[in-house]
Amino acid sequence: MSGLDLGAPASRATRVSRALPFPAGAGMARWVIARNAMAFRHGWVALVTGFAEPVFYLFSLGVGIGALVHSVRTDGGSEVPYAVFVAPALLASSAMNGAVMDSTFNVFFKLRYAKLYDSMLATPLGPRDIAVGEIGWALLRGALYSAAFLAVALLAGVVTSWWALLALPAAVLIGLAFAAVGMFATTYMTSWQHFDYITLAIQPMFLFSATFFPLSTYPEGIQWLVQATPLYHGVALERGLMLGEVSWALAGHTAYLVVLGVIGALGAARRIERLLLT
> Looking only at residues 96 through 125 of this chain, which bind another protein when binding is defined by CB under 8 A?
114-116, 118-125
Q: Is 12 in the site for another protein (CB under 8 A)?
A: no
Residue 209 and residue 254: Cα distance in Å, rounded? Answer: 16
Contact assessment for residue 88 and residue 241, using Cβ atoms and an 8 Å cutoff: yes
The smaller minimum CB distance to another protein, of residues 123 and 217, is found at 123
Q: How far is the CB of 236 from another protein (least distance, A)?
A: 37
Q: How far is the CB of 206 from another protein (least distance, A)?
A: 29
Greatest alpha-carbon span in the chain: 74
User: What Cα–Cα distance (Å) separates residue 267 from each residue in 86, 87, 125, 186, 243?
Assistant: 33, 32, 17, 11, 35
Q: Is 278 in the site for another protein (CB under 8 A)?
A: yes
100 bridge partner residues: none
Q: Is 219 in the site for another protein (CB under 8 A)?
A: no
One of 154, 225, 251, 277 touching another protein (CB under 8 A): 277
Residue 132 and residue 103: Cα distance in Å, rounded? Answer: 11
The smaller minimum CB distance to another protein, of residues 46 and 249, is found at 46
Q: How far is the CB of 117 from another protein (least distance, A)?
A: 10
Residue 202 and residue 96: Cα distance in Å, rounded? Answer: 9
Residue 73 and residue 53: Cα distance in Å, rounded? Answer: 26
The smaller minimum CB distance to another protein, of residues 247 and 278, is found at 278
Q: How far is the CB of 264 from another protein (least distance, A)?
A: 24
The smaller minimum CB distance to another protein, of residues 124 and 244, is found at 124
List the x/- string, 20-59, binding to another protein by CB under 8 A. Answer: ----x-x-x--x--xx--xx--xx----------------
Contact assessment for residue 103 and residue 188, using Cβ atoms and an 8 Å cutoff: no
One of 9, 157, 169, 204 touching another protein (CB under 8 A): 9
Length of the chain: 278
Residue 82 and residue 178: Cα distance in Å, rounded? Answer: 26
Other C-beta atoms closer than 10 Å to the C-beta of 271 total 20
Residues near another protein (CB under 8 A) are 1, 3-9, 24, 26, 28, 31, 34-35, 38-39, 42-43, 114-116, 118-126, 276-278
